[in-house]
Amino acid sequence: MVHGNIELHNTAEISEGPNGGVLTQRVPESLRPHLNPGAQTRVLAPACAEIRFVTDDGKARVTLSGVDGEVQITPFFGLYRNGGCFTVGTEPTTFEIAMPEKFTQLLPTLEGVGHPFSPRVCRLMMRGAQVCVHDVDGEGLRPPTADEVPWLRYLAYGTSITHGGAASWPHLTYAAQTARRIGADLINLGLGGSCHAETEMADYIAARDDWQIATLALSVNMVGGFEPEEFERRVNYMVNTVAGADHSRPVACITIYPYYNDFLDRPSADADKVCIFREILRQAVYACEHPNVSLLEGPEMLVDIGGHTTDILHPADDGMIQMGENIARRLQPLVNGIKRG
Report the pLDDT value the prediction gives residue 20, as an integer from 0 to 100. 83
Give the integer Cα–Cα distance in Å for 133 and 11.
Answer: 12
pLDDT at 121 over 70: yes
pLDDT at 268 over 90: no
Give the integer Cα–Cα distance in Å for 274 and 257.
Answer: 10
Give the integer Cα–Cα distance in Å for 233 and 244.
Answer: 16
Report the pLDDT value the prediction gives residue 267, as an integer from 0 to 100. 66
Report the pLDDT value the prediction gives residue 236, as an integer from 0 to 100. 98
Return the exposure string of 252-267: e unless at least 16 CB atoms fall within 10 Å of the residue's CB, then b.
Answer: bbbbbbbbebeeeeee
Out of 27-31, 51-55, 161-165, 185-189, pick the least confident: 161-165
Give the integer Cα–Cα distance in Å for 15 and 22.
Answer: 6
pLDDT tens-digit map of 300-319: 999 999 999 999 999 999 99
Closest C-alpha among 75, 34, 39 to residue 163? 39
DSSP string, 203-225: HHHHH--S-SEEEEE--GGGTTT
Instruction: Region of 144 please: left (phi>0), alpha (psi -120 to 50) or beta.
Output: beta
pLDDT at 195 over 70: yes
Helix (H, G, I), strand (E, B) or coil at 325: helix
The confidence band for 60, taking pLDDT boundaries of 50, 70 and 90, is very high
pLDDT tens-digit map of 157-175: 999 999 998 999 999 999 9
**Percent of the chain beyond pLDDT 90?**
93
pLDDT at 339 over 90: no
Closest C-alpha among 138, 151, 135, 156 to residue 48? 156
- Tell me what the mean pLDDT of segment 113-135 comes to: 97
Taken in order of first residue, the domains within the chain and their CATH numbers are: 2-146 (2.60.120.260), 153-336 (3.40.50.1110)
Residue type, 317: D
| DSSP 8-state class, residue 155 | E
